[in-house]
Amino acid sequence: NAGVMQNPRHLVRRRGQEARLRCSPMKGHSHVYWYRQLPEEGLKFMVYLQKENIIDESGMPKERFSAEFPKEGPSILRIQQVVRGDSAAYFCASSSRTSVETQYFGPGTRLLVL
Amino acid sequence: GENVEQHPSTLSVQEGDSAVIKCTYSDSASNYFPWYKQELGKRPQLIIDIRSNVGEKKDQRIAVTLNKTAKHFSLHITETQPEDSAVYFCAASVRDTGNQFYFGTGTSLTVIP
């Protein structure tokens, strides 16, 4: 049973470009969470999604950031017009409907903005 | 919203000694408290969790205690080994609603052989 998958693992963008981060939850999991981790800091919640629905986006910056979890395919975290301050590790986690509290994390995408 | 504080930020112990990491939380509605271990460049991995209806839980060398009244919980690692060296994060959430995790700022544990 494959774990949570994320790609790419590393992403380099220049200021002003767009970054797209993908997350495939564990098989059978319908809840996806995105977290951001700045260097030597803890993980900060960004957004919680279920299939085709955003449940809680209270941690998402109001501008440039968006997330989706379509009926088919992976969850996408999209950052438009990236700035240097967006450089971080972005982790997604998934949980199942029957054990919603237990979140399993993916390997993360390390975004570097030049 | 919830605020989770974690201490210490760094901890060094001799191999075989015990390590204790403490966290406090502010929201009395929080009822689920997982602990994650993150090795350098790796994903956070769940090592143990506790729910608010339990005061203590143990899994081999790892134990977690919860004091709901005082709103604090602790991770205890006994007989530490070099492979226990990592960053440990505590978190709090409201179970059953799939709510977000509020993470502590992490403790970098070094076990000296």
| Inter-chain CB proximity A91 and B101 less than 8 Å | no
C-alpha distance from residue B83 to each of A101, A107, B15, B40, B57 (Å): 27, 19, 10, 12, 22
As a whole number, mean pLDDT of residues A75-85 equals: 97
**What's the pLDDT tens digit per position in B95-104?**
666 678 999 9
On average, the pLDDT of chain B sits at 93
The per-residue pLDDT for range A4-30, each reduced to its tens digit, is 999 999 999 999 999 999 999 999 898
Task: Please tell me if residue B106 touches chain A, with a CB cutoff of 8 Å.
Answer: yes
Least confident of A19-33, A38-52, B69-83: A38-52
Structure token digits, residue A97: 């409907």
Contacts of A43 in chain B (CB under 8 A): 44, 89, 101, 103
The reported pLDDT for the residue numbered B94 is 80
What is the C-alpha separation between B103 and B100, in angstroms, rounded?
9
Please judge whether A102 and B34 are an interchain contact, meaning their C-beta atoms are less than 8 angstroms apart: yes
pLDDT of residue A97: 79
A43 CA: distance to closest CA in chain B (Å): 6
Spatial CA neighbour of A33 closest among B99, B44, B51, B30:
B99
Q: Residue length, chain A?
A: 114
* Residue found by looking up tokens 């919603």 in the block: A100
Contact check, Cβ <8 Å, A41/B106:
yes
Residue B98: per-residue pLDDT:
60
Give the 3-state secondary structure of residue A86: helix
Chain A residues touching B98 at Cβ < 8 A: 31, 48, 50, 55, 95, 100-101
pLDDT value, residue B97: 60
* Section B52-77 average pLDDT: 94
pLDDT of A87-112, one tens digit each? 999 999 999 878 777 899 999 999 99
pLDDT mean across residues, chain A: 93
Predicted local confidence at residue B56, as pLDDT: 94
* B28 Cβ under 8 Å from any chain A Cβ: no
CB pairs under 8 A between A and B: 60
Query: Is the CB of residue A56 less than 8 Å from the CB of residue A48?
Result: yes
Quote the pLDDT of residue A54: 94
d(C-alpha A71, C-alpha A94), whole Å: 15
Label residue A45 by pLDDT band (50, 70, 90): very high
Query: DSSP string covering B30-43, please?
Result: --EEEEEEE-TTS-
Task: For residue B108, give the chain A residue with the closest CA.
Answer: A40
The confidence band for B41, taking pLDDT boundaries of 50, 70 and 90, is confident
Please indicate whether, in this complex, the C-beta atoms of B103 and A42 are within 8 angstroms of each other. yes
- CB spacing of A43 vs B43 below 8 angstroms: no
